[in-house]
Chains A and B, each alone.
Chain A
Amino acid sequence: MAAPVSAPPPTGNRKAFRRTRVSAVERGASLTIVLLLGVIGIGIWWKGRHFDPNRFALRPDALKSTAADVKGKSGTVGATDAGPGETRASLKAQPAAAGESAGPGEESASAAAAPAGKGEPLEIKLDGLKPMGDTEFYNAENLFEKIDGRAPAYLNFNFQNLRCRSFSVAGAGSSYVDVYEYRFDTPVNAFGMFALERDPQGEPLGFAPDGYASGMGFFFRQGACYVQVMASDLNAKTIELAKAIATDRAKNLPASDTGLDGRRRLPVTGMDPASVQFVQENAQGQSFLKNVFQANYDFAGKKLPFFLMTTTPEAAAAAWKSYLDFAGQFGGKATALPDVNGAKIFMAQNFGSWKVIYQRDGEIGGVFDAADGDPARQFVEKYLEGQLK
């Protein structure tokens, strides 16, 4: 190989490259960094080679919030929830340590470990009632952990949070009562979910206008809350306490009917109270019908569904026009009727059923899906004339 040739001297503004001496400290630091990188690399490799079941298996922290329901009853994941990397083999042995001797409803020492606290505990002071565990809290992110596939129905009505708790009933064997308080963003959305699940055969409650008793449970809407109080069985004492709990909750939760104006405009005469529904979007499949109240009526021996939407006069007029346009499509024929008390009305037959739709100021409504046109028209005209209360 040719001998190294000396570099030509720099020309112009170019500076000569100068290699300063590398100090021992610098060398040492470099070596340390390289070794550290190597150790980190080996660590990552080693960690990756060893399966960690907790990474893919249960999330104990998620279970923690659901673990308070049976403390004192049997082995529970509550107070001794395994942390990541631990197993929960000890759970089976827990009752002895955590108070299996505690009878139903008696809070054991394990109950001291509260699940993820995210709100005010549900405290109900009634004779014969004892909390079986801590209050559980859920929000829109984790509601599925409590009610699984039922959650989307609640989320559709802008569910905000849930707090629930179980209470045992003294002197009633293993009976218990579950209390669920679902909170929504508005009273009208709470009503919407309440109405969606309503038992049409339910018995009205004296202490909550939007409420009913059904079998083992009491269900009502109070303000922005939809409350469910469910007994474990039909034991008379348990049912009695469940009713007392429901009464207590109705008394203590703030009342508000904000957004429910439309429902108050629905005529009462002939109405099936259990049929009142609130539809947020696409009522009757029409995108222009939002926040609609509807109910079924008995009128002149016919079943008539009637709806009502309140909005601005401009929006109501636009919705009426859209409805009229739709009614004239798909082989339908819409006929304008004479105005009644300042309300525009049309009548149409689509797909074999009749509709009579009106608009007055900021209100649009009418009868839809009626088998006969005449009763539908009479119903709407009487409503507009103020003859239906």
Chain B
Amino acid sequence: MNPEPDQEASGKSDGGISRREFMIRAGATGALLAGAAAGGYALWQREHFVPGFQAEKGLQLPSYALAPDKLLPSLAIAHGPEHDKTIRAAIGALGGMGRFVKKGDVVMLKPNVAFDTPPPLAATTHPETLRAVAKLVLEAGAARVYIADNPINSPTGCFWKSGLKQVADDLGLDLMYPEANSFSPLELNGEVLRNWTFFHEPFKKATKVIGVAPCKDHNLCHASMTMKNWYGLLGGRRSQFHQYIHSIVSDFALMMKPTLVILDGMNVLMKNGPTGGRLSDVKQMNTVVAGTDMVAVDSYGYTHLMERDLAELTYIHKAHDRGLGNKNWKDLIYKEVQA
């Protein structure tokens, strides 16, 4: 069929489009595609991070550690049958709680309350240990004392069954349960811990941080002590870190720079950890280790309280090699006392 005369004049072919119109439309389509591609590229996040926070830095915890002291011990080991006296002896050997907590300080105490088990099973920080530490902190003049953990089991159940809620009630401490809005994205240049949700609420006002950990066997990483204790501050589906357990535990020495850590070795869970379940799993060691270097504290705990070979505790070596602490605790200024 031949085109109509008017169509010929306009360059159209029987309902078709002119070359000009084609070029315009093709150009517009191309520009749209190019614009979409440019827009997508501009919005593309090359590195995965919490959406919407790419322009901001994730949370980076400040250091709560004191400046190193060349005269006072940085590690203390106390032996004795009573929690209160033994802890006082350990802290006293370090120079007293006044060295770490000043009047008006807001202190965050981090116990290990991972499970809803009773104190005799030694799977959680013993209430008498926490009580003794909290009393020392209050005596030193702390304005406020927080206790917080994000347990594996029901938080309220864990705090109740472990006896720590009773301690908080008795001493008027602020017990913080993990709530959905208590978490903030943490940014860390760790071996495996880089961007993760962190139980930040208790740290917002804290000026000092003290870790109070039990000493116990752990099925995956051999032992849970002061470094592993910080695992309880992570949120989200943290169990996925189990496959990198030694890396993540060593990352905690990078993540947290506490004022002080205390390892409760009064009763040590020697086997079937981290839960235990039998009194026969627990060995009375009547020892408390306190210090400013958690790698050193855990090193002592593993060799002298768990009575094991340090060579197998990979995370200690990782932390030491990364300069995050000293596994050779005898290299530090230390003091061993009887309560």
Residues of A within 8 A of B (CB): 1, 3-7, 9, 16-20, 45, 47-51, 53-54, 56-60, 63, 66-70, 73-78, 82, 85-89, 91-92, 144-150, 152-153, 166, 176, 178, 197, 199-202, 214-217, 219, 228, 230, 232-234
Query: Could you say which residues of chain B place their CB within 8 Å of the CB of A85?
Result: 180
Complex CA distance for A158 and B165, rounded to whole angstroms: 36
CB contacts (< 8 Å) of A76 on chain B: these are 154, 156-157
Q: Return the contact of A4 from the options B18, B178, B180 (Cβ within 8 A).
A: B18
A18 touches B16 (CB 8 A): yes
Check B139 for interface membership: any CB of A closer than 8 A.
no
What are the residues of chain A within 8 A of B117 when measuring CB–CB?
178, 230
Q: How far is the CB of B19 from chain A (nearest CB, A)?
A: 6
Q: Which residue of B lies closest to A6 (CB)?
A: B8
B282 (CB) vs chain A CBs: closest residue: A215
How many angstroms from the CA of A379 to the CA of B181 in the assembled complex? 66
Q: Is the CB of B280 within 8 A of A148?
A: no
A48 touches B155 (CB 8 A): no
Contacting A at CB under 8 A, from B162-218, are 165, 177-185, 196-197, 218
- 23 chain-A/chain-B pairs, Cβ below 8 angstroms: A4-B20, A17-B13, A19-B17, A53-B180, A53-B197, A58-B179, A66-B157, A69-B154, A74-B156, A91-B177, A92-B177, A144-B152, A147-B115, A147-B274, A149-B218, A149-B273, A176-B161, A199-B280, A201-B280, A202-B280, A214-B280, A216-B120, A216-B279
Name B residues whose Cβ lies closer than 8 Å to a Cβ of A: 1-3, 7-20, 43, 50-53, 114-118, 120-121, 150, 152-157, 159-161, 165, 177-185, 196-197, 218-221, 224, 235-237, 239, 242, 245, 272-275, 277-281
Q: Which residues of A contact B221 (CB under 8 A)?
A: 149
- Kindly provide the distance from the CB of B283 to the nearest chain A CB, expressed in whole angstroms: 13
Residues on B with beta carbons closer than 8 Å to the beta carbon of A232: 118, 161
Chain A residues whose C-beta falls within 8 Å of the C-beta of B239 in the assembled complex: 144-145, 148
Q: Within the assembled complex, what's the spacing in Å between the Cα atoms of A52 and B52?
A: 10
Bound Cα distance from A40 to B177, whole angstroms: 37
DSSP class of A's interface residues: helix, strand, loop or mixed?
loop
- Please determine whether B157 and A69 come into contact, CB atoms closer than 8 angstroms: yes
Q: How far is the CA of A157 from the CA of B218 in the complex (A)?
A: 18
| Contact present for A56 and B185 (CB under 8 Å) | yes
**What is the distance, in angstroms, from B90's C-beta to the closest C-beta of chain A?**
27
Known contacts A89-B181, A152-B219, A215-B278; A145 and B152 CB within 8 A of each other: yes
A75 touches B177 (CB 8 A): yes
Query: Across the two chains, which residue of chain A brings its CB closest to B221?
Result: A149
A63 CA to B183 CA, complexed, in Å: 16
With A78-B154, A88-B179, A234-B120 already in contact, 18 other A-B pairs whose C-beta atoms are closer than 8 Å:
A6-B13, A18-B14, A19-B15, A49-B51, A59-B236, A67-B154, A67-B157, A75-B156, A76-B157, A77-B177, A88-B177, A146-B152, A147-B274, A147-B275, A176-B161, A199-B280, A214-B279, A217-B279
Which residues of chain B are near A6, meaning CB under 8 Å? 3, 7-9, 11-13
CB pair B179 A87 closer than 8 Å: yes
Residues of A within 8 A of B16 (CB): 7, 16-19
Q: Please, which residues of chain A bring their CB within 8 A of the CB of B155?
A: 63, 77
Residues from chain A with Cβ under 8 Å of B51 in the complex: 47-49, 51
Query: Do A149 and B118 touch (CB < 8 A)?
Result: no
Q: Which of B3, B159, B219, B278 contacts A153 (CB 8 A)?
A: B219
Q: Which residues of B contact A88 (CB under 8 A)?
A: 177, 179-180
When C-beta atoms are compared, the residue in chain A nearest to B279 turns out to be A215
B50 in contact with A51 (CB, 8 Å): yes
CB-contact partner of A56 in B10, B43, B157, B197, under 8 A: B197
Q: Smallest Cβ distance from B179 to chain A, in angstroms?
A: 4
- Which 10 pairs between the two chains have the least Cβ-Cβ distance? A4-B11, A215-B279, A6-B8, A7-B13, A69-B157, A57-B183, A88-B179, A18-B15, A199-B280, A56-B197
Chain A residue, CB-CB nearest to B276: A150
Contact of A146 among B50, B153, B159 (CB under 8 A): B153
**Contacting pair B277 A197 (CB below 8 A):** yes
Residues of B within 8 A of A49 (CB): 51-52
A87 touches B13 (CB 8 A): no
Q: Nearest residue in B to A215 (C-beta to C-beta)? A: B279
Chain A residue at smallest Cβ distance from B51: A48
With A and B bound together, what is the CA distance between A199 and B19 in angstroms? Answer: 90
Does B50 contact A56, Cβ atoms closer than 8 Å? yes
Instruction: Report if A87-B180 is in contact (Cβ < 8 Å); known contacts: A51-B185, A69-B157, A77-B154.
Output: yes
Query: In the bound complex, how far is the Cα of B272 from the Cα of A20, in angstroms?
Result: 79
Given contacts A49-B52, A150-B275, A228-B277, contact A70 B8 (CB under 8 A): no
Identity of the chain B residue whose Cβ is nearest the Cβ of A46 in the assembled complex:
B52
Task: Find the B residue at minimum CB distance from A17.
Answer: B16
* Chain B residues near A197 (CB-CB < 8 A): 272, 277-278
Chain B nearest Cβ from A210, distance in angstroms? 15
Q: Which residue of B lies closest to A64 (CB)?
A: B154
State which of A1, A58, A146 has its C-beta within 8 Å of the C-beta of B180: A58
Within 8 Å by CB of A150, from B14, B52, B184, B272, lies B272
Closest to A228 in B: B277
**Chain A residues near B17 (CB, 8 Å)?**
19
Can you name the residue of chain B whose Cβ is closest to the Cβ of A95? B156
Q: A48-B52, A56-B197 are in contact. Are A4 and B19 (CB under 8 A)?
A: yes
B8 / chain A contacts, CB cutoff of 8 Å: 6
Query: Given A214-B280, A232-B161, are A20 and B236 neighbors across the interface (CB < 8 Å)?
Result: no
Question: Nearest Cβ distance between residue B246 and chain A, in whole angstroms?
Answer: 12
Give CA–CA (A149, B235) in the complex, Å.
16
Q: Roughly how many angstroms separate A78 CA and B154 CA in the complex, as a whole number?
A: 9
Query: In the assembled complex, which residues on chain A have CB atoms less than 8 Å from the CB atom of B1?
Result: 9, 16
Contact A53–B183 (Cβ < 8 Å):
yes
Inter-chain contacts of A153 with B (CB < 8 A): 219
Chain A nearest CB: distance from B339 CB in Å?
25
Q: Are B236 and A144 in contact (CB under 8 A)?
A: no
Residue pair B242, A144 in contact (C-beta under 8 Å): yes
List chain A residues, Cβ under 8 A from B160. Answer: 70, 73-74
Contact partners of B272 in chain A: CB under 8 A: 150, 197
Given A4-B10, A53-B183, A149-B218, A58 contacting B178 (CB threshold 8 A) = yes
> A146–B154 Cα gap in the complex (Å)?
9
